Structure 1
């Protein structure tokens, strides 16, 4: 699923820009809240309950994505969430997540909790725009849905990858919020993971040089 960095012509020189990729698990009706059931949401735990035997295939896709990534990008609460769950784990996926360079967008955080992490202070749009010019390759955004909405609104997302689980929850926080206008996309790929999870990827249809 990995693609080459976007190449942008800035005057006489050609620079490669990192690609911001939002990747997340979701119910069929777009709910992303409390997938593991540890946050107290009454419908939480849907990830394991409706993933079942397909989670083995899911894990391989996620590992392949992490191995191809250049960095991770998260918000403050997601930094805390992932640090509490992954720093104590081992295995190929945990090792890769823990060793990847990470960037935490926050206006209040002084020190990140996850390993190998750098805090990006100040305005998130400016911080991520600068990050795209610094990191070559795929910059994966996990969870961090408030940050995701900001990045989508300001046209800083290159690709959206959704693992859609076979359940309609009917309530709960969703990935998408209101935007100032339509955000057209194009379908890049669609396939099943295991027997019941749909894995779809969309690219945002904007000029490569319009953001950041």
Structure 2
């Protein structure tokens, strides 16, 4: 079974939209594209290098795929392009697509069913980057095995969120954490069953 890992840059108020640049995703008039840039440091760079050095394939929504396809085919191994270009890119799209980036495959039929079937195949782990609309489908279907979050010390107030309306109430277990010199928290979480409740009030 293939592990499905969500790799996400996140603001303190849960926004994941357009961390990399002003023109990355302006849906809804989002005005803060590139909000992660000033917080990158050596530790974050090492973390990203380690994560991208593992064998993986990619699972992407169409918008994120287009952003990646415009950049990574020209990237050198020193720029981190080797792993991404070698990966199979599984793309969720509602309409038939023709891809120029090698090793790109469109998911057929119902996305949740297609991903569930893909997870049962042999191969490396599946990484999801960006792809906020696709993520909502994966979350509702309970298909995510791990979250690798980079939580930045910034509040954006608006934008696409990792956990949108309709996300299943769930508990998580922290498996790894560290903090960068710029205050970014790197935190890995795995699902830990349903939410449990209690009370601090005395009977």
Normalized against structure 1, the TM-score is what?
A: 0.81
In 2, Cα distance between equivalents of 1:129 and 1:179:
19
In 1, Cα distance between equivalents of 2:45 and 2:77:
12
**Residue in structure 1 matched with residue 200 of structure 2 by the alignment:** none
**Residue in structure 1 matched with residue 22 of structure 2 by the alignment:** 37
| Preserved CA contact (<8 Å) 1:103 1:120 | yes
Gaps of 5+ in 2: 195-203
2:64 equivalent among 78, 90, 95: 78
In 2, Cα distance between equivalents of 1:62 and 1:113:
26
Gaps of 5+ in 1: 1-16, 208-212
In 1, Cα distance between equivalents of 2:37 and 2:167:
35
Q: 1:113 to 1:188 in 2, by over 3 A?
A: farther
Task: Give the superposition deviation at 1:98.
Answer: 1.4
Q: 1:168 to 1:77 in 2, by over 3 A?
A: same
Q: 1:101 to 1:189 in 2, by over 3 A?
A: same
Aligned length: 188
Task: State the Cα deviation string for residues 114-156 of structure 1 (Å, max 9, x = none).
Answer: 3321111210011101110113442100111111111111111
Which structure has greater strand proportion?
1
Is 1:22 paired with 2:6? Answer: yes
Where do residues 119-198 of structure 1 align in structure 2 (5 Å cutoff)? 119-179=106-166, 181-198=168-185
Normalized against structure 2, the TM-score is what?
A: 0.84
In 2, Cα distance between equivalents of 1:149 and 1:101:
22
In 2, Cα distance between equivalents of 1:79 and 1:135:
23
In 1, Cα distance between equivalents of 2:85 and 2:135:
21
In 2, Cα distance between equivalents of 1:26 and 1:181:
19
| Preserved CA contact (<8 Å) 1:108 1:121 | no
| Preserved CA contact (<8 Å) 1:79 1:114 | no
Task: State the Cα deviation string for residues 22-42 of structure 1 (Å, max 9, x = none).
Answer: 111111111111211124431
Task: State the Cα deviation string for residues 63-83 of structure 1 (Å, max 9, x = none).
Answer: 211221321110111111111
